[in-house]
Amino acid sequence: MANLSNRQRVVITGLGVVSPLGNTLADLTQNVFSGVSGIGRLNTPFVDELNCKIAAQAQFDPAEHFTKHTYSMLDRTSQMALHSSLEAIKDASLVIDEHLKPRMGIFLGTGMGGAHSIEEGYVRLYKEGASRLKPFTVLMSMNNAAASAVAIEHQLTGPNQTFSTACSSSAVAIGEATRLIRHGYVDVMLAGGSEALLTLGSIKAWEALRTLAEEDTDDLSASCKPFSVDRTGLVLGEGAAMLVLESYEYAVARGAKIYAEVVGYGAANDCNHITQPSVTGQSATMQAALKDSGLAAEAIQYINTHGTGTKLNDVTETNAIKKVFGAHAYDLSVSSTKSMHGHLMGAAGALETIITTMALQNNQLPPTINLKHPDPECDLDYVPNIAKKLANFEYAMSNSFAFGGTGAALILKKIN
């Protein structure tokens, strides 16, 4: 068991999102627990050049939120990160004064950073024959651009770091931010992720990897089918999610509302294969989170799974859960909300942590939609198709696993 006696408690006090299921916390929550799909035909000029024409797009227009001077110097990844940070701080009713600025920072996760800016540069050079690029191309496309934009906006002079561990990036960012607060380096952190990969080049690269879902010919919105025997792959999504994390002491002193407490964080690398997950690595991640929390496995009541909808991942994660939780695995409820919002890559872990937080708040479990034909190898309770209530709901886990092998798991506790 972890030594919990000499560390600060860490709580969640603010939440902000840009997502395929809405750009406010209220819309996201309503749609997730109603089983609404944000997946559909990709609305871009280049869609007919693609084999895979479906995605989970965020309906986000930066012109509605920022001046042209601001958004024209930011890649879409940074635009969404900045907006979600503003929403999270507003939700937390947090005043960032001169005392707080050096005691607050940002940890942000992203898989590919400014993909839109990189693609625009290639188009200008190789398709349009331009001899020069926009002066801000480097500054818009670098991986730490989003975190830097957020830090500058809020004048945060505390730690500013970007984590890039593919699909687990933002879960790692939240976990590492939690550690900073626990040990007294800061009082408050913004932590989360942002990703905007819906460009021609990015999607073509994913097509080549052959992991994208086939279109459901009867219903495009049902194309992502985690844990279903007829699942065919993942659906790319875009968006951003940001959490305000605070020491419990700081939050109570300022009278903040508290959504949940982060009681456990674990990270591990499976060192198996660059794309193929392993039961050993995924189980080690969950076990590390449990050890960090000081909880017995039987305390966990719900897991928001990584649940991508690929053949290999869903069986691997199911077996890893069984390895960690034993007989209790069959008492757990687990679900994949990627069935609704797609895979936000570097932002996925943060969005799913927010959804897990709202599950605790509402005593309700989000469903895995499109689960009409369960895979016999996936034999847990995946909350099929319809959300369900859970009485005495206190502890939940959120899993994030990634190409490259880095996994992260977060354990949240409801604050009554």
Question: According to the 3-state scheme, what is the secondary structure of 301-357?
Answer: CEEECCCCCCHHHHHHHHHHHHHHHHHHHHCCEEECCHHHHCECHHHHHHHHHHHHH
Which one from 224, 306, 341, 378 is the annotated catalytic residue? 306
289 has pLDDT over 80: yes
Helices 279-293 and 311-325: crossing angle in degrees, nearest 10, is 40
Q: Which two tokens stand for residue 249?
A: 């002491």
- 3-class state of residue 36 by DSSP: coil
Q: Specify the DSSP element, H or E, that contains 415.
A: none
Q: What angle do CA 161, 149, 195 make, to 5 degrees?
A: 75
- The mean-pLDDT minimum among 40-44, 128-132, 340-344, 367-371 falls in 128-132
CA atoms within 13 A on the CB side of 265: 20
C-alpha closest to that of 215 among 96, 41, 405, 30: 41
Segment 90-96 shows an average pLDDT of 98
Segment 100-125 shows an average pLDDT of 95
Q: What angle do CA 55, 61, 64 make, to 5 degrees?
A: 160
Q: Identify which has the larger pLDDT, 337 or 271.
A: 337
pLDDT attached to residue 1:
44
Q: Which two tokens stand for residue 77?
A: 């990844």
pLDDT category of residue 6 using cuts at 50, 70 and 90: confident
233 has pLDDT over 80: yes
pTM: 0.97
2 has pLDDT over 70: no
Domain span(s) for CATH 3.40.47.10 in the chain: 10-253, 263-414
328 catalytic per annotation: no
Answer whether CATH 3.40.47.10 is correct for domain 10-253: yes
Q: Who contacts 36 (Cβ-Cβ below 8 Å, separation ≥6)?
A: 21, 30, 340
pLDDT attached to residue 3:
53
69 catalytic per annotation: no
For the chain, what is the radius of gyration of the CA atoms?
A: 20
What order of strands is seen across the sheet that includes strand 160-163?
160-163, 104-109, 188-195, 239-247, 10-18, 260-269, 406-414, 395-400, 302-304, 333-335
Helices 348-362 and 25-33: crossing angle in degrees, nearest 10, is 70
Helices 115-122 and 200-209: crossing angle in degrees, nearest 10, is 100
Q: 370, 228 in Cβ contact below 8 A?
A: yes
pLDDT category of residue 5 using cuts at 50, 70 and 90: low
- As a whole number of angstroms, the distance between CA 280 and CA 93 comes to 42
52 catalytic per annotation: no
pLDDT attached to residue 402:
96
Which one from 167, 224, 341, 378 is the annotated catalytic residue? 167
393 has pLDDT over 70: yes
- 3-class state of residue 41 by DSSP: strand
CATH superfamily of 263-414: Thiolase/Chalcone synthase (3.40.47.10)
pLDDT category of residue 272 using cuts at 50, 70 and 90: confident
Q: Which two tokens stand for residue 347?
A: 């932002």
